[in-house]
Amino acid sequence: MTREVPVVRGVPEASVERLPGYLRTLTVLQEQGTTLVSSEELAAAAGVGSAMLRKDLSHLGSTGVRGVGYDVERLASLLAESLGLTRDWPVAIVGMGKLGRALAAHAGLAARGLRVVALLDRDPAVVGEVVAGQVVRPMSDLPRLEGLAIGVIATPAGSAQDAADALIEAGVGSILNLAPAVLSVPEDVVVRSVDLASELQVLAFHEWRKATSVVLPLEVS
Amino acid sequence: MTREVPVVRGVPEASVERLPGYLRTLTVLQEQGTTLVSSEELAAAAGVGSAMLRKDLSHLGSTGVRGVGYDVERLASLLAESLGLTRDWPVAIVGMGKLGRALAAHAGLAARGLRVVALLDRDPAVVGEVVAGQVVRPMSDLPRLEGLAIGVIATPAGSAQDAADALIEAGVGSILNLAPAVLSVPEDVVVRSVDLASELQVLAFHEWRKATSVVLPLEVS
DNA sequence: CACTGTGAATACCTTCACAGCA
DNA sequence: TGCTGTGAAGGTATTCACAGTG
């Protein structure tokens, strides 16, 4: 996973990356009927330290009550608004392989303001198929789509740059790149890359490290 | 009391996360017939700065030649060995939804030493199905699997902790968690979480920020 | 009085810049 | 000469610890 985001105004990137997790955790608490939560409790549920949580929230203009904690609903609203959940973000997915289809079928994107408005593929054999209730379109349809905000690249590595170029041409401002390739894009376009094979390789590295390092017996005192 | 588990390979985590990308880039160069590469060129192709690349490689006991550059094949070998590619890492995938199936079918895992040895699902209706050439097994088969190294959780959030517990019980030392949930695991188990919906939400945040911050036209004097 | 919000301290990561070597 | 390897500098991110407050 990589990121290339110029930290511009306000919230540090590392902090931004944790916000969706906080919102998720709050939603669970809400469903459980919890109405008030301390930073300690929320942090534990979100898997982070409480000081970090408080600092993260402070960037959003936090709204806790000293001596008491946070109002769950209020905090959830703050996070939702900060993340842009109040708006709809039209998403186009390029590449209808297994991964692209999995994402297209992903329930819960819509609930978070992420509206998948187009599925595209370069392969004429795939175009016209119905995936997750939508007809797969040819790449040539891209320029016709209005108001696109986010593009997802789920193509093979070799087509990733072409897909990126086409998405940007169509007006996309952010790209989630699932292909194992480095994209070159204008600097005002935000790219996040996720490569599952690389994630597994990082884990393999850790297993390898564990296997080759814990040879010496531990000393107990 | 003890602490001090032998710390051997001092490769910083941030560095480890970039190694698979370097290897990927080198493989492409190799296929193109390139035999020698400078840090500047390789860094550009991998989308990082050249100083960072050199520092990353230095942690592995780098093997460049001053005034010349790196031997592509030699460097690829170094990276492959460092990442544990010389060994096979048995992987089990839990959860045969769309995402789990996509990963199971992922070509190129095997080429990187990641051998998917088992597909599992809790749902009896899915057990027995053939996915990517393998029969889906019930969770109760997990304890029977020998030598598992890495587990992938591709279940709904509600089942993720159960899946993690079962995988760890079966001897897994590292987990790739694709479910939107926080896992609690023993501290010697390495967990990496990837949530595609959260990734998209981070992008939505950036779009939102761009839309709300660049309202005032810049004044140039 | 328990908890938040935050300055200060620390740890970590990246970039700079150049010494040193083929 | 041209490039690597790396100490030092500069940034970010995280943690500590406590003052401030409902």
- B9-B10-B15-B19 Cα dihedral, nearest 10 degrees: -10
Answer yes or no: do A20 and B97 touch at CB < 8 A: no
In angstroms, the CA of A158 and the C1' of C13 are apart by 31
* Tokens read off for B188: 């010697």
Average pLDDT over residues A20-26: 98
Q: What single DSSP character describes residue A109? A: S
Q: What single DSSP character describes residue B68? A: T
Mean pLDDT of chain A: 93
Rounded Cα–Cα distance for residues A129 and A117 (Å): 15
Which residues of chain B from 51 to 80 reach within 8 Å of chain A, CB to CB? Answer: none
Residue B50 CA: distances (Å) to CA of A24, A133, B54, B55, B129 = 38, 46, 6, 9, 48
Write down the pLDDT at residue B50: 98
| CB of A87 closer than 8 Å to CB of B209 | no
Starting at the edge strand found earlier in the chain, the sheet holding A2-3 runs A2-3, A190-193, A174-177, A150-153, A89-94, A114-121, A137-138
Residue from B77, B30, B87, B32 nearest B57 by CA: B77
Task: Flag the least confident range among A121-125, A216-220, B39-43.
Answer: A216-220
Using alpha carbons only, give the angle B156, B161, B166 rounded to the nearest 5 degrees. 110
Neighboring chain B residues of A214 at a CB cutoff of 8 Å: 5-6
In angstroms, the CA of B67 and the C1' of D1 are apart by 8
Q: Report residues 61-80 of A contacting strand C, contact meaning Cβ closer than 7 Å.
A: 62-70
Which of left, alpha, beta for A84 (phi over 0: left; psi -120 to 50: alpha)?
A: left
Write down the pLDDT at residue B212: 87
Residues whose CB falls within 7 A of nucleic chain D?
Answer: A 7, 12-15, 48-49, 51-52, 54-55, 65-68; B 38-40, 50-51, 54-55, 57-58, 62-70
Average pLDDT over residues A173-186: 98
Write down the pLDDT at residue B218: 41
How big, in percent rounded to 5, are the helix, strand and coil portions of chain B? 40, 15, 40
Write down the pLDDT at residue A214: 61
Residue with tokens 């590469």: B37
Residue from B205, B176, B52, B198 nearest A84 by CA: B205
pLDDT at A23 over 90: yes
Confidence of residue A1 (pLDDT cuts 50, 70, 90): very low
Give residue-wise pLDDT tens across range A27-58: 999 999 999 999 999 999 999 999 999 999 99
Confidence of residue A219 (pLDDT cuts 50, 70, 90): very low
Residue A202 CA: distances (Å) to CA of A140, B19, B52 = 37, 8, 18
Q: What is the DSSP string of A132-160?
A: TTEE-EEGGGGGG--S--EEEE-S-HHHH
Task: Flag the least confident range among A8-12, A84-88, B19-23, B35-39.
Answer: A8-12
Rounded Cα–Cα distance for residues A164 and A75 (Å): 36
* Tokens read off for B138: 């019930």
Local structure of B204: helix, strand or coil:
helix
Q: Which nucleotide is nearest to B17 (CA to C1')?
A: C13
Average pLDDT over residues A159-167: 98
Give residue-wise pLDDT tens across range A182-217: 999 999 999 999 999 999 999 999 999 999 876 544
Per-residue pLDDT of chain B (221 residues; tens, 9 = 90+): 323 333 345 899 999 999 999 999 999 999 999 999 999 999 999 999 999 999 999 999 988 999 999 999 999 999 999 999 999 999 999 999 999 999 999 988 999 999 999 999 999 999 999 999 999 999 999 999 999 999 999 999 999 999 999 999 999 999 999 999 999 999 999 999 999 999 999 999 999 999 987 554 444 43
Neighboring chain A residues of B152 at a CB cutoff of 8 Å: 200
pLDDT at A220 over 50: no
Rounded Cα–Cα distance for residues A104 and A126 (Å): 14
pLDDT at A3 over 50: no
pLDDT at A157 over 50: yes
Min Cα distance A33 → chain B (Å) is 17
Neighboring chain B residues of A215 at a CB cutoff of 8 Å: 6
Rounded Cα–Cα distance for residues A163 and B70 (Å): 32
Mutate to test the interface with A, among B28, B206, B214 (most CBs of A within 10 A): B206
